[in-house]
Amino acid sequence: MKFVTRLGCAGAAVLMLACANAALAEPPSGVVAVNRGATVVTGGTPVSIAINAGRKGGWVMNPCTATESLFVSLGGTATTTPGTPNAADLPACGRIDLGGAAGVFWGAVSINAVTSGHAFEAVELQ
C-alpha cells in the first residue's frame, strides 16, 4: 500500500506556498519540528532517518524543483526501482506523511534517488 500526498506546485496559491515552504510550517503547541532534510550523496545508495519512538509525525518530500523521483521505504531499504518494496515513489512536490489518522510511523525511514546529490526535504515532529 502506498501513502502519498501529491502537492501540485502549479495549483492554488495555498498549495504553492505549502510546497515552497513545507519545512517552515508551524508545528502544534508543545511539538518541536526538527529538520531532517539531507541529500542522497551517492545515487542508488540510500540514506536514512533513524528510528524514533518519540516521533509525533512528520513528512518526507521531494522538492518541487526535482527532476527525478525520490524513493522512500518505511522500515525497509529504499531502492531506485519503482514500486515495492518502496512505500512511496515521489515525483517533484510529492510527499509522504509519517503520521496521520492511523497513527505515527516510528521506524527507520530509508530514502534513495538515482542521481548523486539529490536533495530532499524532511521534517520530524517531536
- Residue 103's pLDDT is 87
Q: What is the mean pLDDT of the chain?
A: 83
Give me the mean pLDDT over the 31-49 stretch: 96
Q: Tell me how crowded residue 15 is: count the other CB atoms within 10 A of its CB.
A: 15
Residue 117 scores a pLDDT above 50 = yes
- Residue 24's pLDDT is 52
**Fold of the domain built from segment(s) 5-125:** Jelly Rolls (2.60.120)
- The residue ranges of every structural domain in the chain are 5-125
- Residue 25's pLDDT is 60
DSSP assignment string, 36-100: --EEESSTTS-EEE---TT--EEEEE--TT-SS-EEEEESS---SSSSTT-SEEE-TTEEEESEE
